[in-house]
């Protein structure tokens, strides 16, 4: 009964306040009430705005982190595609050079082989051997240039001694003068010895194999003349030769047979 009276009392008080609020003499009370509740409401509104702003910052940071991760993945994917395209371009260029060599030397038989290992003493191992018709001493080319000759041999593999190996002696010829000499590798690089002193040396002259002693087919490109490294006291000239082939990047070669 008492609770019922209290409820009715509250309702009547609210109704009375609403009615009194319509009269001008109640304005001071109404203004006081507004001021009383304005500060808490403003405070709550500021707190809400601050929390809402912080939440937006957190959400925005998460979005930026995800976008950054997605962009990094896209960059990595593009870099992978660029690398693959560069590899394909290099392989196509090498194949064109090998095809051109084959077309310009129709009398030679070329056996393709993959490089499966790089050994010490400037040599490589290929996946072709005696079972494939490979023989010791045969010339080995890549991209149309001589890179070495077949050394040790097994049934299914062969060791190729590269031109940079000091024990590989290659008869060569300067195409501008027809002068022949012996090319060997070593600390000084690829060097041709035993060139007569009266031979004019021109930088950039193409150097090819000579059929001297019948070791190699004639006319296989070896490189180009870099410079003369002889002194006035020498009886013969020595010439350094530059090859465009990077031995460390060899992946496929061709074994030459007549």
Query: What pLDDT shows up at residue 244?
Result: 92
pLDDT tier at 221, thresholds 50, 70, 90: very high
Q: Quick one: average pLDDT of 155-167?
A: 93
Q: Are residues 141 and 229 in the same domain?
A: yes
Q: Are residues 208 and 178 in the same domain?
A: yes
Q: Quick one: average pLDDT of 106-117?
A: 89
Q: Quick one: average pLDDT of 161-177?
A: 92
Last residue of a domain, one of 59, 77, 104: 104
pLDDT at 224 over 60: yes
Query: What pLDDT shows up at residue 207?
Result: 95
pLDDT tens-digit series, residues 57-93:
656 666 677 777 777 777 767 666 666 555 555 555 5
Domain that holds residue 52: 1-104
Q: Are residues 22 and 96 in the same domain?
A: yes
Q: Quick one: average pLDDT of 22-42?
A: 57
pLDDT tier at 105, thresholds 50, 70, 90: confident
Tell which wins on pLDDT, 99 or 254.
254
Q: Are residues 130 and 235 in the same domain?
A: yes
Is residue 75 packed enough to be buried (19+ CB in 10 Å), middle (13-18) or exposed (0-12)?
A: exposed
CA distance 248 to 19: 100
pLDDT at 159 over 60: yes
Q: Are residues 153 and 45 in the same domain?
A: no
Q: Are residues 149 and 237 in the same domain?
A: yes
pLDDT tens-digit series, residues 34-64:
555 556 666 656 665 666 665 566 566 666 7
pLDDT at 255 over 90: yes
Q: Are residues 127 and 208 in the same domain?
A: yes
Last residue of a domain, one of 56, 89, 104: 104
Tell which wins on pLDDT, 190 or 94.
190
pLDDT at 213 over 80: no
Q: Are residues 59 and 82 in the same domain?
A: yes
CA distance 5 to 156: 110
Instruction: Name 191's bridge partners.
Output: 184, 240
| Pairing of β 139-142 and β 123-126 | unpaired
pLDDT at 25 over 60: no
pLDDT averaged over every residue in the chain: 78
Is residue 193 packed enough to be buried (19+ CB in 10 Å), middle (13-18) or exposed (0-12)?
A: middle
pLDDT tens-digit series, residues 117-154:
988 668 999 999 999 999 999 999 998 899 999 998 99
Q: Are residues 118 and 201 in the same domain?
A: yes
Strands (E), 28-184: 109-119, 123-126, 139-142, 145-153, 158-162, 170-174, 180-184
Q: Are residues 73 and 40 in the same domain?
A: yes
Instruction: Name 234's bridge partners.
Output: none
Number of structural domains found in the chain: 2
């Amino acid at each position: 009964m008492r609770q019922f009276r209290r409820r009715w009392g509250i309702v009547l008080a609210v109704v009375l306040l609403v009615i009194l609020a319509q009269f001008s003499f109640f304005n001071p009370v109404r203004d006081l009430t507004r001021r009383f509740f304005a500060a808490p409401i403003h405070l709550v509104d500021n707190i809400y705005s601050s929390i809402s702003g912080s939440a937006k910052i957190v959400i925005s940071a998460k979005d930026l982190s995800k976008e950054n991760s997605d962009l990094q993945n896209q960059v990595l994917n593009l870099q992978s595609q660029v690398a693959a395209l560069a590899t394909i371009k290099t392989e196509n260029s090498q194949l064109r050079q090998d095809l051109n060599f084959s077309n310009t030397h129709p009398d030679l038989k070329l056996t393709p082989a993959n490089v499966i290992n790089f050994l010490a003493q400037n040599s490589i191992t290929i996946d072709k051997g005696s079972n494939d018709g490979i023989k010791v001493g045969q010339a080995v080319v890549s991209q149309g240039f001589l890179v070495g000759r077949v050394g040790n041999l097994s049934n299914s593999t062969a060791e190729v001694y590269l031109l940079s190996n000091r024990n590989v002696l290659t008869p060569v010829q300067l195409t501008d003068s027809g002068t022949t000499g012996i090319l060997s590798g070593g600390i000084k690089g690829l060097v041709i010895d035993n060139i007569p002193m009266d031979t004019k040396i021109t930088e950039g002259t193409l150097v090819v194999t000579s059929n001297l002693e019948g070791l190699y087919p004639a006319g296989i490109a070896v490189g180009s003349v870099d410079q003369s490294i002889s002194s006035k006291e020498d009886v013969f000239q020595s010439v350094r030769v530059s090859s465009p082939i990077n031995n460390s990047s060899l992946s496929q070669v061709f074994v030459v047979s007549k």
